[in-house]
Structure formats: structure tokens, C-alpha cells
Structure 1
Amino acid sequence: MLDVHRTDNLPRGTICIEDIEIGMKRHLRKQVTDRDIELFAEISTDHNPVHLDDDYAQDTIFEGRIAHGMLTAGLISAVIGEQLPGHGTVYLGQSLKFLAPVRPGDMVMAEVEVTEIDHAKRRVTMHTRCEVDGKNVLKGEAVVLAPSRKFD
């Protein structure tokens, strides 16, 4: 289930560097399903049983199955690639700190907020985070190359 909520009424697509401002935010919400975890395991080839085997996972520090951390981080990529800056954005870097597990069935809210803009280099720095039930499960910083109207 993907339920996209934005902080304003702008459509998905592209926000060019010329229109980006410090403090702009965008977010989405997605419920992480068993199928998401299984598909991510197939795509990434990460078949760690903490993600896929209930019995195994029960005996771990997490006391149950968890989603891959990079699956959760991928939701940040979705916000960046679809909303802010959006289509045409090039990822330059991302730092991540995993704070808590995401479990099958959790509704994750992924959000980005513009913190710095370098217009000359078309670089945008953003605070990134994911939360479940109001609790941060991931935080970090992304640096991207934003699209520009000058290069359309």
C-alpha cells in the first residue's frame, strides 16, 4: 500500500534547482509488506534469515522478522526521485544511521528536507529520515544533483 502525502499540492515530477528553497519538504508513506521483503531479498540477493524466517528471527536481538535496512532507505530514494527534486535528479551521496527496526506491516513515513543549496553546482543537500508510529527508525543526509531548466 503506497499512500503519498506531500506537504503541499505540487504534483510528482520535477522541481528544478531554480525553484528549490531551504526548508522545502516532501514525504511519502508506505506499508512494508512480506512481499516487499521477499522481493527485496530476491533483487538484492540478501537472504539473511532475520528477514525471511520467523523461527530464526525470533531468537535474534530483534525477537522477530525485520525488513532490510536498505529497503527502508529505498523509500528516501523514492521521495528524492519522484518528488524533491524529482525526475532527472542524480544521487551523489547518502549517509544513513539505522535507529530501530522496521517490521512487516509497519507504515513507514519517509521524508526529505532541503538544508543547503549550491546553485552554481546544482547541488542540494537534504536531511533524510524515516519514521514508524512517530519514532525515527532511520536518519541521514543526501546530496543530489538537481535538474535545471537551463539543461532541458
Structure 2
Amino acid sequence: MDDRALGSIPFEDIHPGMTVSYSQTITDADIKAYAGLSGDHNPVHVSSEYAASSRFGKRIAHGLMSAGFFSALFGTRLPGPGCVYVSQSLNFKRPVYIDDTVTATVKVNSIDALQRRVFFETLCTVGGKVVISGEAEIYIPKSKKD
């Protein structure tokens, strides 16, 4: 199967400034599923009563749920299947609430051709406001046809 059919972008075609985004609206079911998968049952995420008395006033989504959208973009869009996540920094700026639509965006900052590494700016926004910022490093192995 052709790599491009999988959404993969060949290493030599990646350049600084390339950007891809993904948006998803966070639901109550998403938060409950994430709590079950991660084991993080912090009441600020899963208890309306507890969260009402928190500084947030209502339940918030797990920060790593939104950050997970970066992985989805790397693994399916840019660079695509086969890439390996090396590192990710995350700065949580604002909470994400149920029914918020999170837009995750990754932008190529630089490339190390010798090491086959791509460095990205990563952002999640809700309503145009940054909720997560950070940087990522992705390794792109040579394909069998290289």
C-alpha cells in the first residue's frame, strides 16, 4: 500500500511551516471513558458536586485527553503512520469543559535531516483561546523502500 494512502507524508516533503489541525467536542462520555482508561478518577473530572466547589465551578476534562489529539495528528496526518513520538512538553493554560470544542494544531518548526527528527509547535485551543501549548519531537524511521 502506498504510504500516501495512509496519510503519511514522506520525510523529504516535510518542511517548516507545515500545519495540520484536528477538532473534537468533549463530551461527558469522553471524560468517563478517559477516566476508565487512564485510572484518573479525580473528582474534578468525574463528580459534578465536587467540581462545583472547585476553582473551575464545574467538571473539567483531563488535560492529557486534549493533548492526546497531538498524537492522533502525528500518527495519521503529519508525518503519518510509522512515526515515533520522542518527546512532548505541555503547558496547561486554561481548563477544557464538557461541550467545549478543542482544536489541536501541530506546526513544523524545524527538521534534523541527519537524525530524521521533526520538531513541532503544538497548540490546543477552545474558542480561539490557548488551553495547551508545547513542543514535540518526532522521529521518522526509514521506510522499507528507502
Q: Which category of TM-score, normalised to the shorter sequence, fits these structures? A: over 0.9
Q: Distance in 2 between matches of 1:54 and 1:14?
A: 41
Question: Percent identity among equivalent residues?
Answer: 46
Q: Distance in 2 between matches of 1:122 and 1:99?
A: 31
Q: Distance in 1 between matches of 2:117 and 2:145?
A: 14
Q: Distance in 2 between matches of 1:29 and 1:12?
A: 20
User: Are residues 1:94 and 2:88 paired?
Assistant: yes
TM-score normalised over the length of structure 2: 0.93
Q: Which amino acid in structure 2 is aligned with residue 65 of structure 1?
A: R
Is the CA contact 1:18–1:148 (under 8 Å) kept in the aligned structure 2? no
Structure 1 counterpart of 2:64? 70
TM-score normalised over the length of structure 1: 0.89
Give CA-to-partner distance per residue, 1:38-82, whole Å, 9 cap, x none. Answer: 010000000001001111001001111000000010011111111
User: Are residues 1:119 and 2:131 paired?
Assistant: no
Q: Which amino acid in structure 2 is aligned with residue 70 of structure 1?
A: L
Match of 1:138 among 132, 141, 146: 132
Q: Distance in 2 between matches of 1:107 and 1:30?
A: 5
1:140 offset after TM fit, Å? Answer: 0.2
Q: Which amino acid in structure 2 is aligned with residue 29 of structure 1?
A: S
1:105 offset after TM fit, Å? Answer: 0.6
Specify whether residues 11 and 106 from structure 1 end up closer, same or farther in structure 2 by C-alpha distance, changes over 3 A only: farther
Q: Distance in 2 between matches of 1:115 and 1:146?
A: 15
Q: Which amino acid in structure 2 is aligned with residue 31 of structure 1?
A: T
Specify whether residues 12 and 103 from structure 1 end up closer, same or farther in structure 2 by C-alpha distance, changes over 3 A only: farther
User: Are residues 1:30 and 2:21 paired?
Assistant: no
The RMSD of aligned alpha carbons is 1.5
Structure 2 counterpart of 1:106? 100
Q: Distance in 2 between matches of 1:148 and 1:83?
A: 17
Structure 1 counterpart of 2:8? 14
Where in structure 1 do 4 or more consecutive aligned residues deviate above 6 Å?
Answer: none
Specify whether residues 97 and 11 from structure 1 end up closer, same or farther in structure 2 by C-alpha distance, changes over 3 A only: farther
Q: Which amino acid in structure 1 is aligned with residue 59 of structure 2?
A: R
1:148 offset after TM fit, Å? Answer: 3.8
- Which shows bigger deviation, 109-118 or 11-20? 11-20
Look up the SS of the partner of 1:72 in the other structure: helix
- How many residues are treated as equivalent by the alignment? 143
Structure 2 counterpart of 1:3? none
